Structure 1
């Protein structure tokens, strides 16, 4: 009896040990499976993070934006004059040089006046002689010693002589060439001692006190551009400087050949550094919104209707937008976005609707925190 009990006791101990070993083995298998599953989930997350497309983003914000028309044109002086000699003669003295400012009526060059003076003296003597004859005739006509016809002829001769005298005096005044307008001497083509022919250009004067730029604008802008609107000019020759002016006048006639009309912009004393002939980029502002929702131009997609990629929760969505005014690097969004929305500005080529993205420059702590939360959720489910 005791032998049987001992045998059963040993058998029970063995069975218990076997059961305990089996339990440990199963627990180890389950633990291994869980670890393997966690490793696989981690690999999937890493692969998912690796598949995210890096992008740069900007937020939709509010700022003032102006509606404008831009174009290019060369600057021209408001007034320009080719100074010509109205009489012939030797240039005795050239009084101005290139680049010198002059005012209207200022002497520029003196020509030899001797011939003109002799002519004036001759015509003056002839005029005095005829005037004396006419006065004697008027006294004798009452005594019937001179006919009325002779008096009329003498009167005509006197008037003719006076006209010749005034012509000779005018010729003498032409020996001093004066500036017809105020401005700056742009060119000079004579020197002291040169013989100057009549009607020969000898100076070029430009009025640089007010410069103009003429734009040929498409006819669709005819209703928007008006005289008095503000103008901004950037000159290639003066980088970094901005000059302001205004629309001086608008030609109301559209050229049928080109479909354009002329808009003349004027720049006055506030643009002293500008010079005639300079080439500039001109912007005419014709409207402005003080609080417009804008995004960078770079955010706009190039294909199809206006749209952007909006970023939310690590994914992008293609969002159609309605655009308004554009100014510089900004474009107004009238519909489709709200303030604070993130839009992709760089990396758009590789994106499709729903693509997973990683924002360049996003704080790494946020990414790690999101990863930790995701791993904690997975542990709870296990």
Structure 2
């Protein structure tokens, strides 16, 4: 046998042996091939599922409220004016200083008013003596009754002039008409002050008020005494409590609104007139409402959510209750613990398979119990 024939025969025997071995290996791996196909199918199904974020419906307290923005105003404010003219001999208060009603603020030069008072007093004393002597003479019929009456009228006129002169002298000391803080001062010692010139502005900061113009549809829900919460940008992180002080009973025909005045006094020392704030008036409360995040609501018409069941979503109509912050109460359509889609809703249709990548259930923390009229919703 030639060397070429020997090599050719050996190669043939090797190829045959390799073919037999491959057939045996394939026969032994057949069941494992089915498992691989199933795994591939499951993996493909997972790939087809839409990734979403979800939250579970849970129970917490919610409050029905009306919110608006308004500037804070002082309960009372007064422009202090000089009631007489004169040179300011002493300015007794400064801006930012608290004063009480009747406290002296400025002392004006009183010389002219003092002289006028002395002149009126001398005239009064003269007429009083004349009237006293006239009464004695009329008893002796030495003077007519008409002359006595004229003296009495002159005496009353002189007494009125004297009282007026005393009043003018009191105006030389300018006093605070109300209690509060000196907001502005427009006078200095030595200035000549003209009558009726504003020299101080006093703001009563013991209680601040905020006025909201509320749509007339809320007229039946808001009333005096309801709790109010205020947040101002100037004092971040702080919430101030107040109450509805009074409500205007008249609706403005032009704007269709009515005025609601809220008052803030206790604990509101840090607030200042003129601050702009966001106001919330709670007019009803529910302590045990079933709620979901606002983000779960669909914006395609009637209120509805995508509820997740067995890996698929179902469009579920719901009836809503009160909304507070990021939560909204659900009166009908869901049960406690139902998962609803909060992110990824755009790509979903009824029956779409989903994969929850960030389940927030239970995402609703139980709020502190609040007093409520009815805790059913």
**TM-score computed with the length of structure 2 as normaliser:** 0.87
Deviations 1:237-275 (A, max 9, x none): 100000001000011110000000000000112211111
Residue 331 (structure 1) aligned with residue 328 (structure 2): yes
Q: Which residue of 2 aligns with 1:367?
A: none
Q: Which residue number in structure 2 is paired with residue 219 of structure 1?
A: 216
Instruction: Give the alignment partner of residue 178 of structure 2, picking from 181, 187, 207.
Output: 181
For residue 274 of structure 1, what is the aligned residue in structure 2? 271
1:214 Cα offset (Å): 0.4
SS of aligned partner of 2:148: helix
Aligned equivalent of 1:314, options 293, 311, 314: 311
Equivalence for 2:68: 71
Q: Does 1:345 align with 2:326?
A: no
SS of the residue corresponding to residue 215 of structure 1 reads: strand
Residue 35 of structure 1: how far off its partner (Å) = 5.0
Is 1:164 matched with 2:136? no
Runs of at least 4 residues of structure 1 off by over 6 A? 27-33
The equivalent of 1:99 in structure 2 is 96
CA–CA separation in structure 1 for the residues paired with 2:111 and 2:300: 80
Kindly indicate whether residue 269 of structure 2 is the aligned counterpart of residue 256 of structure 1: no
Aligned to 2:129: 132
The secondary structure found in structure 2 opposite 1:58 is strand
For 1:291-302, what aligned pairs fall within 5 Å after superposition?
Answer: 291-302=288-299
C-alpha deviation, 1:32, in angstroms:
6.4
User: Is 2:54–2:359's contact at 8 Å kept on the other side of the alignment?
Assistant: no
Match of 1:108 in 2: 105
The SS at the match of 1:359 is strand
Distance, in Å, in 2 between the alignment partners of 1:284 and 1:291 is 20
Aligned residue in 2 for 1:53 = 50
Structure 1 portions without partners, runs of 5+: 1-20, 364-382
Deviations 1:125-159 (A, max 9, x none): 01111111111111001111111111011100000
| Offset from partner CA, 1:328-375 (integer Å, 9 cap, x none) | 111100001000001111111221111111111469xxxxxxxxxxxx
Contact 2:109/2:172 (<8 A) preserved: yes
Q: Is the 8 A contact 2:99 2:180 kept in 1?
A: yes
Q: How many residues align?
A: 341
Measured in 2, the distance between the counterparts of 1:315 and 1:146 equals 119
C-alpha distance in 1 between matches for 2:153 and 2:236: 69
Aligned equivalents of 2:205 and 2:28: distance in 1?
Answer: 91
The superposition leaves residues 176-223 of structure 1 with CA deviations (integer Å, 9 ceiling, x where unpaired) of 000000000011110101111101111001110011000000000000
Deviations 1:97-139 (A, max 9, x none): 0110000000000000000000000011011111111111110
Which of the pair has more CA radius of gyration? 1
> Do the aligned partners of 2:53 and 2:359 also contact (CA within 8 Å) in 1?
no
For 2:141 and 2:28, locate their aligned partners in 1 and report how far apart those are by CA, in whole Å: 156
Greater relative contact order (CA < 8 Å, ≥ 6 in sequence): 2
1:270 partner SS = coil
TM-score, with structure 1 as normaliser: 0.86
Q: Which residue of 1 aligns with 2:300?
A: 303
| In structure 2, C-alpha distance between the alignment counterparts of 1:196 and 1:312, rounded to whole Å | 83
Contact 2:54 2:358 in 1 (8 A): no
Q: In the alignment, which residue of structure 2 is the partner of 1:7?
A: none
In the other structure, the counterpart of 2:77 is 80
Greater Cα offset, 164-173 or 309-318 = 309-318
**RMSD in angstroms over aligned alpha carbons?**
1.9
| Secondary structure of the structure 2 residue equivalent to 1:124 | helix
